Amino acid sequence: MATSFPLLRLRDGFTGQNEHLRPFIKEYQRLVTDISEFTLADDGWYGNDSSAVTRVLQRRYGFFDDGTVRPALVRWFRYLQEHPDERINPAEGITLVQLLQIVGERNEAHARRHLAGLNGAMRTYSISTPLRRAHFLAQVAHESGGLRWNEELASGAAYEGRADLGNTEPGDGPRFKGRGLIQLTGRFNYRQYTQHRQSLGDAAVDFEETPTLVAEPPYAADVAGWYWDNRSINDAADADDVVRVTRLINGGTRGLDDRRRLLGLARQALGV
């Protein structure tokens, strides 16, 4: 294996030009095939296909995604070849690097706290394609202020006596105020979520008895996925309809500009 590596750019190594680069390009193409789900022909041609795959892998591993192969990227891929346990499988969910591209590095502590819960929720509720995940994460990021808020800031007194929410006992408003990355509100909904989690085998939980649990990982993320699934929002995400997704989340289009901005960041992070 070569010990050094030149900088490669789109269309390097094609027939008749830059022939000295072809061994390096072939090595790179074999590395990509070995460490990822992509298969590149090791033809020594760094053209459109190789460049497109490079950009996806650069985003996946936190490199600047310009499609240019630099020695640092090759060194990392050589390392991954020898350490398969450190490769990222996109089918398993998103990485911390990708999540920070959406919510911002200032929210790293919150992202670390909720990363496993978000990946679990996306698995449980079939938020399984990059486009679905981009819409889900954009909406969650907006609703939670970049994962900073997992509980309603208000006291919940406004929900007191709301029979439509099942708040029929004194103190139910504050007790069952909004919690979760997409907020669950009202005694009735806490009861429904308890029944759902128990149906999945989580027999020990009772959110009606201990409502503050909904604000804690992994339930804060899971309840967002449950909300998403209950309203069949995957269908709107599959249609790439951010307005419809937003209406299903909050009944209107409040915050639509920010949701669109976050969707753009999520698309970029996930390579959609």
Q: Which domains does the chain have, with CATH numbers?
A: 19-86 (1.10.101), 91-270 (1.10.530.10)
Amino acid at 131: L
How far is the C-alpha of 14 from the C-alpha of 44, rounded, in Å? 7
Measured at the CA of 207, the angle between CA 206 and CA 208, to 5 degrees, comes to 90
| Model pLDDT for residues 238-255, shown as the tens digit of each residue | 999 999 999 999 999 999
The predicted pLDDT at position 41 comes to 87
| Model pLDDT for residues 111-147, shown as the tens digit of each residue | 999 999 999 999 999 998 889 999 999 999 999 999 9
From residue 15, give the alpha-carbon distance in Å to each of 12, 18, 52, 181, 237: 9, 8, 20, 53, 43
- What are the contacts of 197-206 at 24+ separation with CB within 8 A? 197/222, 200/124
How far is the C-alpha of 13 from the C-alpha of 258, rounded, in Å? 43
The predicted pLDDT at position 119 comes to 93
Mean pLDDT is lowest, of 13-22, 51-60, 206-215, 246-255, for: 13-22
Assign 164 to helix, strand or coil. helix
- Given a cut of 70, is residue 2 above it in pLDDT? no
- What are the contacts of 237-240 at 24+ separation with CB within 8 A? 237/127, 237/131, 237/132, 237/134, 237/135, 237/136, 238/129, 238/131, 238/132, 240/131, 240/135
Mean pLDDT is lowest, of 65-69, 206-210, 214-218, 260-264, for: 65-69
Structure-model confidence comparison of residues 228 and 62, the more confident one = 228
The answer to whether the peptide bond before residue 174 is cis (omega within 30 degrees of 0) is: no
- What are the contacts of 12-19 at 24+ separation with CB within 8 A? 12/46, 13/44, 13/45, 13/46, 14/45, 14/46, 14/47, 15/45
Closest alpha carbon to 185 in 156, 205, 210: 156
Assign 129 to helix, strand or coil. coil
How far is the C-alpha of 163 from the C-alpha of 155, rounded, in Å? 18
How far is the C-alpha of 127 from the C-alpha of 145, rounded, in Å? 21
The answer to whether residues 111 and 148 touch, using CB atoms and an 8 Å cutoff, is: no
The answer to whether residues 162 and 173 touch, using CB atoms and an 8 Å cutoff, is: yes
Q: What is the mean pLDDT of the chain?
A: 91
